[in-house]
Amino acid sequence: MELINKKILVTGGAGFIGSHLVDKLVDQENQVIVVDNLVSGKMEFLQESQEKIEMVKADLQNADTLLPILEGCDAVFHLAANPQVKITDDETRLHIDSNIILTYHVLEAMRKKSVKDIIFASTSTVYGEPNVVPTPEDYGPLIPISLYGASKLACEALISAYCYSYGMHSVIYRFANVIGSRSTHGVIYDFVNKLRATPNSMEILGREPGTRKSYIHISDCVGAMIHGYEHSKEKVGIYNIGTEDYTDVKTIADIVCRSMELEDVDYKWTGGVDDGRGWKGDVRIMLLVIEGIKALGWKPKHKSDKAVELTARELVKG
């Protein structure tokens, strides 16, 4: 379905990815409703579009939140979630509630209101540590190593079951690391903040040169989300979204330092946990096969290092 002049609901639309998506949907003359409890999202992220959207500040933990809002919607982009992979030992319920239960509430409301299309922000962490890299969408078995990855895989399963049981359609995106302006978590965001506090030295989680992962710029990510939905013909379409290369944490640190015009910064590697990873559940190598979305006519404009450079500049500028 072409995303022009449609009524679209975006959960988590005040967040990092959500707000960029909202800007693009508004640009394409869609009527956009954002539902967000602003736990990590911010109204200022919606500055560009706020006069053209309907903003509903509400918590999706409440099962009935969406029922009155969904009336007449053509599709739901479901992004509201807790996106943190790194959690403490007393936070094991976090992703069950914020991701799995939330997604169940969204699907139930859609079923009751006969809204048929859901586009879901999943993650490469559903693959765990695959022994095929780059990893294609049909890789299996999927053995996540973080509760975040496990919760997103459970969400994918729920979405698939609703599609087959209730005549719905879905597009599920397994994102690499998404980076860019308005991000409020992740390695580049952390580095910029640490270097602002102490420009001479920086603690880096893990063992040099750190994990190697694909990083996709937000402009590419949003383009892929819209293009994929407009062109996917599957009942449950699953697409990896990333770049075709990866970069390591040391290179990212160097790029961020250059962007902040800092020289000779003393990197203090912590050594990490479980054989050098940054934290429990951190995947060491992540690179995705993106032939599926390329076959629909989309490819990324920026490689990983370029995406990191753009993001560092955007975050430094504030």
Which residues are marked as active site? Answer: 148
What is the DSSP secondary structure assignment for residue 124, as one 8-state letter? Answer: G
Would you call 242 helix, strand, or coil by DSSP? Answer: coil
Residue 149 as a binder of ligand NAD (CB under 6 A): the answer is: no
Min. distance of Cβ 225 from ligand NAD in angstroms? Answer: 10
Site for ligand NAD in 165-194 (CB under 6 A): 175, 177-178, 184
**Angstrom distance (rounded) from CA 217 to CA 299:** 12
Residue 151 as a binder of ligand NAD (CB under 6 A): the answer is: no
Burial 35-67 (b: 16+ CB within 10 A, else e): bbbeebbeeebbeebeebbebbebebeeeebbe
Residue 18 as a binder of ligand NAD (CB under 6 A): the answer is: yes
Contacting residue, 8, 10, 12, 127, with ligand NAD by CB under 6 A? 12
**Angstrom distance (rounded) from CA 213 to CA 175:** 11
Residue 60 as a binder of ligand NAD (CB under 6 A): the answer is: yes
Would you call 258 helix, strand, or coil by DSSP? Answer: helix
What is the DSSP secondary structure assignment for residue 288, as one 8-state letter? Answer: B
Q: Which is nearer to ligand NAD, 184 or 200 (CB)?
A: 184
Contacting residue, 24, 25, 26, 37, with ligand NAD by CB under 6 A? 37
Q: Exposed, middle or buried by CB within 10 Å (0-12, 13-18, 19+), for 164? A: exposed
Q: Which is nearer to ligand NAD, 16 or 162 (CB)?
A: 16
Min. distance of Cβ 27 from ligand NAD in angstroms? Answer: 18
Which residues of this protein are in contact with ligand NAD, per CB under 6 A?
12, 14-18, 36-41, 59-61, 79-81, 83, 98, 102, 121, 123, 175, 177-178, 184
